[in-house]
Amino acid sequence: MMLGLVSHIKYHHKVIKSTTCFTDCMSCWCPCMVYGKNRQRFDHLQENDTADPEHGGSGCDADCCMHLALNALCGFGWVLQLGQRATLRARYHIDGSYVNDCLTAFFCTPCELTQESRELAEEEMTASNTERPEQTRNT
């Protein structure tokens, strides 16, 4: 058995693919809220390996405010998305580069946020379908 070898995959969802009208619209009109929701969902998955029961909450939190402030003051809200996208790629072993992340976040912020939301939903669905060892002991 070879240790340390990790295969890299592509994103499950394309950047431009309209399937979730609500997230698509929110990403265009209020990208800061979608960023905040994605961030909370991702943090919850990393800490607990389970889906966030609040599904990101309202999205109006410190992360949302920081994204909004950077967008309003100098148009740099997309910069926050770079770190989150890179961490998401690393967690799921998705092919890509910082250059591609930068171009995607800068030129197509709504599409990038929607793609990230779909990738998180994919893991949340997987996490909710997986039984934990503690649950199987009681049955």
pLDDT digits (tens, 9 = 90+) for 36-87: 999 999 999 999 989 999 888 888 999 999 999 999 999 999 999 999 999 9
pLDDT at res. 128: 79
pLDDT at res. 18: 52
Distance of alpha carbon 112 from alpha carbon 135, whole angstroms: 36
Find residue 53's DSSP bridge partners: none
Residue 111: in which H helix or E strand, if any?
A: helix 109-129
Find residue 94's DSSP bridge partners: 9
Which is nearest to 107 in space by CA: 136, 81, 73, 68? 81
Answer yes or no: pTM beyond 0.85. Answer: no
Task: Kindly give, in sequence order, each residue whose CB lies less than 8 Å from that of residue 101, ignoring residues fewer than 6 positions away.
Answer: 81, 82, 85, 86, 89
State how far the alpha carbon of 78 is from the alpha carbons of 8, 71, 130, in Å. 25, 8, 33
Average pLDDT of the chain to the nearest whole number: 82
